[in-house]
């Protein structure tokens, strides 16, 4: 808690994730991971963490959650462009500051060892092939909701996860029972109908995947579902009752004492048209220290064109015509052309 985490759980590391691993291999076998080839790599490694690939002799997985949900009052001050970005990505790239905190925790664990009984610890945040939500659920940190995300009672699902795998033996927590009941709000809210069934997301249709990880054109049938999301999507979380009832004291703490999740100042002077016209150098400067860098310059321009089309932004027609005629990316040219046609149809509607 002193490091800024909001919840912690402990899981026995020397017991394989057989059932969860089977679900993972089924997901990959069905091709639902889309272009994310890295998800299919090291498949056998993801079954356990106590082998040579993660940490030999590991006894415990310390699972941690950092909440990024802010109060509605604080979010109301976000500039218009920031509201087109998933909440976790509006501020600093979380990998950097979470990694530092996890390294400090790993160092603390190592210091608990002695010359005769050394303690080894490996911190991880999205940089190792492990099934982190499965470990978090096993630790009792939270339970997996129908949208596939970890839900921590009292904290919700707007959380960043991290782990420290260690050879130190810590009594494990008890897994929580699933508490979604008959609620299907997250499934119903998905704008592209990306859930094959409860707990199974087909990433190939997910707006977060399409706007961040996917390279190339977005399926025309899915573009209306992108709506005004230029980077990521929170729709299945926004409607979740566990986020609505999350402890407001934690959100207040984030508002008052941590600026990491507040929007970059640069978003105040940025709009969708700027993404269409952005050079590679401008892209690097604009996305420095931001998760938006992952979407690539081409991806953000493509997304901007689709959002402008969905909005029916007639005022953006000139910029879209320019992009359709001369952008150096074929993908962006096609998206801009689609947007112009879509805007034309919208403006013709009485």
State CA 20 to chain mean position distance: 20
C-beta separation of 303 from 226 below 8 A: yes
Burial class (CB within 10 angstroms; exposed 0-12, middle 13-18, buried 19+) of 286: buried
Q: Which residues neighbour 114 within 8 Å (Cβ) at sequence distance 6 or greater? A: none
How many whole angstroms separate alpha carbon 282 and alpha carbon 284?
A: 5
Pairing outcome for strands 159-166 and 60-67: antiparallel
Number of C-beta neighbours around residue 104 at 10 A? 14
Locate 108 and state its tokens: 């603390």
C-beta separation of 160 from 92 below 8 A: no
State CA 335 to chain mean position distance: 24
**Which of the following is catalytic: 35, 111, 126, 328?**
126
Query: Is 78 an active-site residue?
Result: no
Please identify every residue annotated as catalytic.
Answer: 126
């Amino acid at each position: 808690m002193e490091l800024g985490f909001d919840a912690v759980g402990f899981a026995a590391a020397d017991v394989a994730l057989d059932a969860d691993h089977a679900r993972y291999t089924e997901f990959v076998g069905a091709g639902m991971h889309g272009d994310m080839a890295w998800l299919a790599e090291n498949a056998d490694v993801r079954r356990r963490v106590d082998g040579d690939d993660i940490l030999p002799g590991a006894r415990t997985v310390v699972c941690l959650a950092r909440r990024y949900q802010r109060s509605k009052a604080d979010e109301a001050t976000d500039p218009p462009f920031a509201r087109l970005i998933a909440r976790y990505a509006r501020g600093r790239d979380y990998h950097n500051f979470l990694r530092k905190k996890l390294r400090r925790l790993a160092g603390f664990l190592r210091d608990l060892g002695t010359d005769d009984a050394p303690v080894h610890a490996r911190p991880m945040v999205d940089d190792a092939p492990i099934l982190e939500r499965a470990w978090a659920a096993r630790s009792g940190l939270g339970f997996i909701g129908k949208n596939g995300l970890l839900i921590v009672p009292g904290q919700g699902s707007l959380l960043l996860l991290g782990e420290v795998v260690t050879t130190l033996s810590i009594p494990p927590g008890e897994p929580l029972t699933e508490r979604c009941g008959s609620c299907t709000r997250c499934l119903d809210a998905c704008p592209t109908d990306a859930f094959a069934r409860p707990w199974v997301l087909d990433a190939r249709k997910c707006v977060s995947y399409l706007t961040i990880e996917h390279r190339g054109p977005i399926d025309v049938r899915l573009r209306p579902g992108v709506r005004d999301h230029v980077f990521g999507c929170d729709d299945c979380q926004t409607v979740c009752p566990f986020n609505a009832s999350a402890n407001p004291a934690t959100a207040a703490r984030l508002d008052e004492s941590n600026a990491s999740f507040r929007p970059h100042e640069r978003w105040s002077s940025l709009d969708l048209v700027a993404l269409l016209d952005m050079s590679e150098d401008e892209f690097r400067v604009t996305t420095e220290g931001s998760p938006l860098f992952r979407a690539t310059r081409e991806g953000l321009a493509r997304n901007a064109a689709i959002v402008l089309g969905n909005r029916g932004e007639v005022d953006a027609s000139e910029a879209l015509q320019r992009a359709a005629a001369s952008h150096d990316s074929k993908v962006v040219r096609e998206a801009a052309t689609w947007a112009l046609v879509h805007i034309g149809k919208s403006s013709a509607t009485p």
